[in-house]
Structure 1
């Protein structure tokens, strides 16, 4: 499957918005993907599941706003935010970066901040 970086990222974002983590892993992530975040360095599909679980503890699947997707060759970047209504918490300053090779995500960095909704820059 020879997909562009943008095609991989768009499919990844669609599947995450739809709550299809396992489909996302199967179609878009290399089995040995490397992930770097404030939670440390993680590897493989289990690392993706772990970090997705942490994010899901703040925001349910589909409760995201994708603000900008940029790609250049095998590198991509997503700017995003999210909202957890139950706790009145907003996730902001979300920026993920990606490396795509042979149609699969092989590396990803993840960053976001949380704050009460009344302190969120978009309130």
Structure 2
């Protein structure tokens, strides 16, 4: 029995957390495409390269995900923060086929994170 897009995406999130690119790419079809504004990567090697770049940009990030499924398609809006960087405008699209990811688009702006200064309580 083939996995649903929701099941694949849940598993994908767990695998991303490991940082193991081989484990992550096992959720993609052999002919998968990984599309960014700058280029199109193909196959497992392309997925490794694309995901590797994302993980390198945002190591050990705190992710906030807003998924919206429509059949075999997922629109994912996301934000991520690390001590040094943040993304506030992440948008991915996933296309699922036969229990795997067959296409993914990724777009985000990586910005330096401005440290939040703790507020000092004011006294009267």
Task: Give TM-score scaled by structure 1 length.
Answer: 0.83
Q: Which residue, out of 61, 66, 69, partners 1:68? A: 66
Larger-gyration structure (1/2): 2
Q: CA deviation at 1:38?
A: 2.0
What is the root-mean-square deviation of aligned Cα atoms in Å? 1.7
SS at match of 2:114: helix
Give 1:96's aligned residue.
92
Unaligned runs of 5+ in 2: 116-124
CA distance in 2, matches of 1:47, 1:64: 25
Q: Counterpart of 1:107?
A: 103
Gaps of 5+ in 1: none
Greater than 2 Å deviation, 4+ residue runs: none
Task: State how many pairs are aligned.
Answer: 115
CA distance in 2, matches of 1:94, 1:103: 24
